[in-house]
Amino acid sequence: MIDQPKILIVDDESITRLTIEALLSNEDYDLHFAKTGTEGIALAAQVLPDIILLDVMMPGVNGFETCKQIRKMPNLSEVPIILITALDDRDSRLLGLKAGADDFITKPFDIHELLLRIQNMVRLNRYRLLTEQRQQMDRLHSELLIAYDKTIEGWSRALDLRDRETEGHTRRVTEITIQLARTAGFDEEALKHIWRGGLLHDVGKLGIPDSILLKSGKLTESEWEIMRQHPVYAYEWLSHIEYLQPALDIPYCHHEKWDGTGYPRGLKGEEIPLVARLFAIVDVWDALTSDRPYRKAIPPDEALNYIKAQSGSHFDPKIVEMFVSQITSA
């Protein structure tokens, strides 16, 4: 709910203050009154009005000086100020503009004209404030996304450090998948989610005991059953984070196979999300072409032959063609 617009009226003449109060009494405004410029400056700092009606001809600190002082206050530097003046000459108006006034109305004023000017000023000021708030929210949102993404990068580095056999794997497969996805026609917004999904593709392995994840020998069937749960762990952890929900397909589905023999759900063909089908090829490619403690990397030609041989079983045939074309033209 938006608060009532606050209007500060600064005028040393009681008749003017009473007239304006009577004029605005039926309007939805929160009215504040000051009798002098000094009092008006103090009250403006206290209530932070949406608009100020400011008499020019006041004893002591006049309206021009009051306007200047208010304009120097950071929270009030852009508040609309209407000068109410008996002076109608060009020099007086120039002095008012130089002091920072936004509008003028001449005494004796037409009450209907004053009401319309106030309504317009309040509306414009509220629009300006809402625009600034939206811009601030956009900035905060962008900063929050950057912080989230930095956190994701930290998670991915921690995963690679835990499993030294795959150090650098996450960064490589994410970069190549982004290239492949761009070729496949994904837009920049979708690529951001793919980037996040790629970095988090193995986050579920945090739930796998070191005795299994770091085991140097062959895993037993019961150990494989535990290992195959890591996509499920990823889904269970990430699905509760709204920001990461569009990035779930890769962590959850990158071990599914085109022929339905993959895990964790045994999805088949186009049941498997497209981004997961893209990532699956890149994941295997990097595993084959990277050195591991228990074997050396195989040459790229042999790795491509393996991927081609898995077309229609492990991999989507159309994506195999796209991937081979991208790798051979690089």
CATH 1.10.3210.10 positions along the chain are 163-329
Tokens of 318: 């159309």
In this prediction, residue 125 has a pLDDT band, given cuts at 50, 70 and 90, of confident
229 Cβ partners below 8 Å, 6+ apart? 204, 207, 208, 264
Tell how far CA 156 is from the center of its chain: 21
Question: Which residues does residue 51 pair with via DSSP β-bridges, in sequence order?
Answer: 7
Task: Quote the CA–CA distance of 81 and 122 in Å, as a whole number.
Answer: 10
CATH superfamily of 6-135: Response regulator (3.40.50.2300)
Report pTM: 0.60
**H helical segments located in the chain:** 14-24, 37-47, 63-71, 90-99, 111-162, 169-183, 188-199, 210-213, 221-227, 230-238, 249-253, 274-289, 300-309, 317-329
Question: On the CB side of 143, how many CA atoms lie within 13 Å of its CA?
Answer: 6
Task: Quote the CA–CA distance of 4 and 14 in Å, as a whole number.
Answer: 24
* pLDDT value for 1: 41
Task: Quote the CA–CA distance of 51 and 265 in Å, as a whole number.
Answer: 62
Taking only the tens place, the pLDDT of each residue in 251-307 is: 999 999 999 999 999 999 999 999 999 999 999 999 899 876 667 889 999 999 999
CATH superfamily of 163-329: Hypothetical protein af1432 (1.10.3210.10)
323 Cβ partners below 8 Å, 6+ apart? 180, 281, 282, 285, 307
* pLDDT value for 105: 83
In 3-state terms, what secondary structure has residue 94? Answer: helix
* pLDDT value for 162: 64
In this prediction, residue 2 has a pLDDT band, given cuts at 50, 70 and 90, of low
Tell how far CA 32 is from the center of its chain: 38
Percentage with pLDDT > 90 across the chain: 49
Widest Cα–Cα separation across the chain: 96
- Mean pLDDT computed over 12-20: 89
- Mean pLDDT computed over 134-163: 74
Residue with tokens 């970069």: 175
CATH 3.40.50.2300 positions along the chain are 6-135
Mean residue pLDDT across the chain: 87
Task: Quote the CA–CA distance of 99 and 93 in Å, as a whole number.
Answer: 10
Stretch among 8-12, 16-20, 156-160, 187-191 having the lowest mean pLDDT: 156-160
Q: Which of 21, 48, 53, 51 is nearest to 37 (CA)?
A: 53
Taking only the tens place, the pLDDT of each residue in 84-108 is: 887 666 777 788 878 888 888 877 7
- Mean pLDDT computed over 105-130: 77
